[in-house]
Amino acid sequence: MWQFRLWDVQDVALFLSMAIYICDLAGAISIHSAQRSLTRSVQEDVFFSVDVSCGGIPTIEWNFMSGVVSRTIGTWQPGVYTNITVDYSSRVQAYNNGSMGLSDLRLQDAGYYVITVTEATGSSKDSGFVLKVNEVLYEDLQYLSISVVALAAAAALLMLIMWLLDKVYRRIVAWRRRRRMPENNETELQPL
Contact pick of 3, 27, 51, 134 for ligand NAG (by CB under 6 A) = 51
3-state SS assignment for residue 111: strand
CB 61 within 8 Å of CB 84: no
Its sign, for the CA torsion 10, 136, 90, 85, is positive
Q: Which stretch binds ligand NAG (CB under 6 A): 22-30, 43-51, 136-144, 174-182?
A: 43-51
Count the neighbouring beta carbons within 10 Å of the beta carbon of residue 80: 8
Q: Residue 140 CB, nearest distance to ligand NAG (Å)?
A: 30
Instruction: Using the CB atoms, write b or e for 151-163: b if 16+ within 10 Å.
Output: eeeeeeeeeeeee
Contact pick of 3, 30, 72, 82 for ligand NAG (by CB under 6 A) = 72
3-state SS assignment for residue 11: helix
Distance CA 71, CA 116 (A): 13
Q: Which stretch binds ligand NAG (CB under 6 A): 44-52, 116-124, 129-137, 145-153?
A: 44-52
- Residue 97 as a binder of ligand NAG (CB under 6 A): the answer is yes
- Residue 95 as a binder of ligand NAG (CB under 6 A): the answer is yes
- Residue 83 as a binder of ligand NAG (CB under 6 A): the answer is yes
Q: Which stretch binds ligand NAG (CB under 6 A): 12-20, 80-88, 146-154, 158-166?
A: 80-88
- Give the binding site for ligand NAG (CB under 6 A): 32, 49-51, 72, 81, 83, 85, 95, 97, 99
